[in-house]
């Protein structure tokens, strides 16, 4: 099957999922329900594209298909920040009630953390990328420990608000945040798209890329920053979705079987839209909001992660 045909299939499935979610059981509520559904779909598209894009480029520079940008501790930092704000200022403070202020604080905190981490690790000459990942795991574990400690001390009523922040949610999305996220994600994607050919070469390994004239270290640093920005924006917009990038990126590898990142990233983006919009429809219509989409994704993603580990161990 040609890639063009595969893209047509994904586009049709994406349009079908979006149309079904927007108009199923609408019952004439065009003025009230439809605008809310449009905001949800817009948030799903932005989140899906951002996570798919960042995961594919992150796996390319790490040369590992079971790693995701969340391993850098950004998800843990987001939950820690929300816990700290509620612990010290309360769930009725402007930092929590004002979604725009909370969004800006979250994005800035995660981006600053990523930039400081990269600057510190790359300051003293060349550092192996796996050293960076190891530090990210350690820092993320530290953030989780502090978060757990604060959650034990926090008021039970306030903890319910913290718990809402621990899982991704597409309900009650602020329309202003959609436009902010769209602007940031669009700029990052445009900047990153210029490096698609270099990423194709990077996938061959450091030595080959350097011999072919690619500025390996420079490209890696830029891609890490772009990946961190995308994850920061998507996480601040809807919350953390740990295993989602792992699923869509690997499905794109298996479906297209190509080295071209322009195809892999685009395919992963469409798969993200299908998964998020279709999954949200199942949560609302089948499970009647008894669970959240992030719980389902993390459950499926955990199983898929184990499958990938077993597959890698058999091929080694």
Helices (H) and strands (E) in the chain, counts: 14, 0
Q: How far is CA 298 from CA 173, 245, 284, in A?
A: 21, 10, 17
Q: Is 43:170 a contact under the CB 8 Å cutoff?
A: yes
Domains and CATH numbers, the chain: 3-315 (1.10.3470.10)
Estimate to the nearest angstrom the gap between the alpha carbon of 99 and the chain centroid.
19
Average pLDDT, the chain: 87
Give the model's pLDDT for residue 29: 67
Distance in angstroms (rounded) separating the CA atoms of residues 234 and 312: 29
pLDDT digits (tens, 9 = 90+) for 252-283: 999 998 889 999 999 999 999 999 999 999 88
Q: Is the pLDDT of residue 79 over 80?
A: yes
Tokens of 307: 């499958």
Residue bearing the bigger pLDDT, 302 or 94? 94
Distance in angstroms (rounded) separating the CA atoms of residues 36 and 92: 24
Q: How many residues does the chain have?
A: 316
Give the model's pLDDT for residue 135: 83
pLDDT digits (tens, 9 = 90+) for 140-185: 899 999 999 999 898 888 888 888 888 777 877 888 899 999 999 9
For 36-40, 132-136, 232-236, 274-278, which range has the lowest pLDDT when averaged over its residues?
132-136
| Count of Cβ atoms closer than 10 Å to residue 227 Cβ | 28
pLDDT digits (tens, 9 = 90+) for 86-96: 999 988 889 88
Confidence of residue 315 (pLDDT cuts 50, 70, 90): low
Q: Is the pLDDT of residue 28 over 70?
A: no
Helix (H, G, I), strand (E, B) or coil at 132: helix
Q: Could you give the dihedral angle defined by the CA atoms of residues 197, 55, 49 and 247, in that order, rounded to the nearest 10 degrees?
A: 120
Q: Is the pLDDT of residue 127 over 70?
A: no
| Count of Cβ atoms closer than 10 Å to residue 170 Cβ | 24
How much of the chain exceeds pLDDT 90, in percent?
40
pLDDT digits (tens, 9 = 90+) for 174-213: 888 999 999 999 999 999 999 999 999 988 888 888 888 8
Confidence of residue 71 (pLDDT cuts 50, 70, 90): confident
Q: Is 261:99 a contact under the CB 8 Å cutoff?
A: no
Q: Could you give the dihedral angle defined by the CA atoms of residues 316, 244, 242 and 306, in that order, rounded to the nearest 10 degrees?
A: -30
Give the model's pLDDT for residue 220: 86
Confidence of residue 132 (pLDDT cuts 50, 70, 90): confident
Query: Which residues 6+ apart lie within 8 Å of 127 measured at CB?
Result: 121
Closest CA to 198 of 50, 12, 60, 23: 60
Q: Is the pLDDT of residue 124 over 70?
A: no
Q: Is 6:256 a contact under the CB 8 Å cutoff?
A: yes
Q: Is the pLDDT of residue 131 over 60?
A: yes
Q: Which residue has the tokens 């279709």?
A: 278
Closest CA to 112 of 78, 146, 138, 150: 78
Give the model's pLDDT for residue 53: 95
Distance in angstroms (rounded) separating the CA atoms of residues 287 and 289: 6
Q: Is 298:38 a contact under the CB 8 Å cutoff?
A: no
């Amino acid at each position: 099957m040609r890639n063009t045909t595969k893209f047509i299939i994904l586009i049709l499935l994406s349009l079908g999922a979006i149309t079904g979610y927007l108009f199923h059981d609408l019952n004439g509520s065009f003025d009230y329900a439809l605008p809310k559904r449009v905001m949800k779909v817009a948030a799903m598209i932005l989140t899906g594209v951002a996570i798919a894009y960042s995961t594919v480029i992150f796996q390319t520079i790490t040369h590992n298909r079971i790693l995701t940008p969340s391993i850098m501790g950004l998800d843990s930092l987001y939950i820690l920040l929300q816990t700290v704000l509620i612990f010290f200022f309360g769930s009725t403070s402007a930092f929590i009630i004002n979604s725009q202020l909370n969004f800006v604080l979250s994005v800035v905190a995660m981006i600053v953390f990523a930039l400081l981490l990269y600057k510190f690790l790359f300051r003293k000459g060349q550092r192996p990328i796996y050293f960076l990942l190891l530090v990210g795991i350690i820092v993320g574990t530290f953030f989780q420990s502090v978060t757990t400690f604060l959650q034990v001390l926090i008021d039970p009523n306030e903890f319910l608000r913290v718990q809402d922040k621990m899982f991704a949610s597409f309900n009650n999305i602020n329309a202003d945040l959609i436009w902010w996220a769209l602007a940031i994600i669009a700029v990052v994607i445009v900047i990153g798209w210029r490096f698609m050919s270099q990423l194709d070469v990077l996938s061959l390994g450091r030595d080959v890329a350097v011999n072919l004239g690619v500025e390996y270290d420079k490209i890696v640093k830029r891609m890490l920053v772009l990946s961190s920005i995308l994850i920061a924006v998507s996480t601040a917009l809807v919350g953390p979705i740990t295993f989602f990038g792992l699923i869509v990126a690997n499905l794109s590898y298996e479906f297209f079987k190509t080295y071209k990142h322009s195809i892999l990233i685009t395919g992963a983006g469409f798969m993200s839209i299908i998964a998020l919009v279709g999954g949200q429809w199942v949560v609302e219509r089948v499970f009647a909001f008894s669970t959240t989409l992030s719980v389902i994704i993390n459950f499926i993603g955990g199983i898929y992660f184990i499958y990938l580990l077993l597959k890698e161990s058999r091929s080694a």
